[in-house]
């Protein structure tokens, strides 16, 4: 009977590990989507006319904030899995520039 319990426990542990991995993957996907949106808005903002600039600047700031939140969620998920080094995240998913940094590129 203890063999059956051990087998059941291993199955549950395997399922939990799978769910953790899936959650990490979803967090990465959300961050990728947020980064793409922020990057696209940044490109639009750099090409914007004066009439479009304020609207796009507000949209960029909001998108950047969502990106930073998604990035933090990914880091927290990684930490929960015992992954303490985030150099890979920093390289693969760098923080988007602030509005001021972005606008300096335009000059």
Chunk the chain into consecutive blocks of 10 residues (it has 107) and report each block's average pLDDT, rounded to whole numbers: 78 90 93 97 95 96 98 94 91 94 85
- In this prediction, residue 105 carries a pLDDT of 83
Q: What is the pLDDT of residue 107?
A: 64
pLDDT of 40 reads 97
CA 63 to chain centre: 12
SS3 53: helix
Res 64: pLDDT? 98
pLDDT tens track for 2-20 = 678 788 889 999 999 899 8
Q: What is the pTM of this model?
A: 0.85
- Among 44, 89, 45, 48, smallest CA distance to 67 is for 89
DSSP letter string, 4-23:
HHHHHHHHHHHHHHHHHHHH
């Amino acid at each position: 009977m203890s063999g059956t319990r051990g087998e059941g426990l291993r199955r549950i542990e395997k399922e939990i590990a799978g769910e953790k991995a899936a959650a990490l993957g979803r967090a990465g996907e959300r961050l990728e989507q947020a980064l793409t949106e922020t990057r696209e808005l940044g490109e639009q903002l750099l090409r914007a006319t004066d009439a479009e600039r304020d609207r796009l600047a507000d949209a960029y700031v909001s998108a950047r904030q969502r990106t930073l939140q998604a990035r933090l969620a990914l880091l927290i998920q990684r930490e929960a899995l015992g992954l303490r080094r985030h150099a890979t995240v920093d390289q693969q998913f760098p923080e988007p520039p602030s509005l001021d940094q972005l606008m300096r590129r335009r000059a």
